[in-house]
Amino acid sequence: METDFDPIEMEMLQLATAARLLRTAQRIACLTGAGISAESGIATFRDTQTGLWANFDPMQLASQAGFSADPGVVWRWYMDRLQRVQQAQPNPGHRALADLEARVHRFTLITQNVDDLHERAGSRSVLHLHGRIDRFHCNRCGFDHALTMQERSAPRPPQCLACGDSVRPSVVWFGESLPGRILDHAWRAAERCDVMLVVGTSGVVYPAAQLPLLARQLGAHLIEVNPERTALSDMADAYLQGPAGVVLPDLLEAI
């Protein structure tokens, strides 16, 4: 008896399954992570940090403790990352998700990314669970701060115009809670969707990682796109192994 599976045939089968699930879905939710921006040249946290930042730990830099200990170093790290984000361009993976949104009546895009590449690819409504790297507010009183060019290249964070404390990027740091209203929307989308598409996330940062599990528990189908297997891969109805910039355009074409 023939027991070997042809890997190419298996891949085609997974793609066809995913396309069918998306084609027949009434409500689709999509969760993206750092992996979708990797092909735009923005490093994931799990990639080793390079150059100037090789010896710094992102878990320490992206935290209130790190900012209190050395606001200057944290500020310069964010200004460097902001510049990389602004120089980067959306890739075919971001564009495929914007196309999917345009085709589907009920589509919710939830991202853990702090970059704006989904928006620049044409996605119209993006829930940023972890905030945005191009927005700023006071670390003490929360007052919004519009950054000047001079402040961007300064070695230390600017001071809040309302209370004089340090201004920080409006991203969610390790140990902080997520913006409540955005998390509520994301939660509701996960509860109501019949397909959840999970792209480029290792699924180890909570509560974001809970969203696909919740969707599945309530009966939704899961589709995962990631070059590496994760804890979700075995429970996914379709696991599409590969980079988002290649797999997502193929998937869109197959729908």
Minimum CB separation from ligand NAD for residue 251, in Å?
Answer: 12
CA-to-CA distance for 70 and 235, rounded, in angstroms? 42
Name residue 25's amino acid: A
Residues 6 or more apart whose Cβ sits within 8 Å of residue 132: 114, 115, 116, 170, 171
Minimum CB separation from ligand NAD for residue 84, in Å?
Answer: 9
Minimum CB separation from ligand NAD for residue 168, in Å?
Answer: 15
160 binds, among ligand NAD, Zn ion, none (CB under 5 to 8 A by kind): Zn ion
Taking a C-beta distance cutoff of 8 angstroms, is the pair 42, 88 a contact? yes
Minimum CB separation from ligand NAD for residue 161, in Å?
Answer: 27
Interacting residue with ligand NAD among 122, 179, 227, 249 (CB under 6 A): 227
What are 4's two structure tokens?
A: 């070997």
Q: Which of 118, 145 has the CB closer to Zn ion?
A: 145
DSSP per residue, 121-174: HT-S-EEETTEEEEEEEETTT--B-PPPHHHHTSSSPPBPTTT--BEEEEEPPB
201 binds, among Zn ion, ligand NAD, none (CB under 5 to 8 A by kind): ligand NAD
Interacting residue with ligand NAD among 80, 176, 184, 228 (CB under 6 A): 228
Annotated catalytic residue, options 94, 128, 130, 145:
130
Taking a C-beta distance cutoff of 8 angstroms, is the pair 173, 63 a contact? yes
69-77, 142-150, 181-189, 222-230 -> range binding ligand NAD (CB under 6 A) = 222-230
In the residue annotation, 118 being an active-site residue is answered as no
C-alpha triplet 235, 239, 243: angle, nearest 5°: 140
Q: Which parts of 140-159 interact with ligand NAD (CB under 6 A)?
A: none
13-21, 181-189, 190-198, 226-234 -> range binding ligand NAD (CB under 6 A) = 226-234
Tokens 């230390």 sit on residue: 156
9-17, 126-134, 138-146, 179-187 -> range binding Zn ion (CB under 5 A) = 138-146
Strands (DSSP E) along the chain, which ranges? 27-32, 106-111, 126-128, 131-138, 167-171, 195-199, 221-225, 238-240
Query: Is position 59 an interface residue for Zn ion (rule: CB under 5 A)?
Result: no
Q: Is the peptide bond before 207 cis (omega within 30 degrees of 0)?
A: yes
| Cα dist from 173 to 65, 106, 183, whole Å | 10, 30, 15
Minimum CB separation from Zn ion for residue 170, in Å?
Answer: 13
Q: Which parts of 110-139 interact with ligand NAD (CB under 6 A)?
A: 112-115, 130
Q: Which of 191, 232, 239 shows the shortest CA–CA distance to 215?
A: 191
Q: Which residues would be at the binding site for ligand NAD (CB under 6 A)?
A: 33-39, 42, 44-46, 112-115, 130, 200-202, 204-205, 225-228, 230, 243-244
Site of interaction with Zn ion (CB under 5 A): 138, 140-141, 143, 160, 162-163, 165
| Catalytic sites, residue numbers | 130
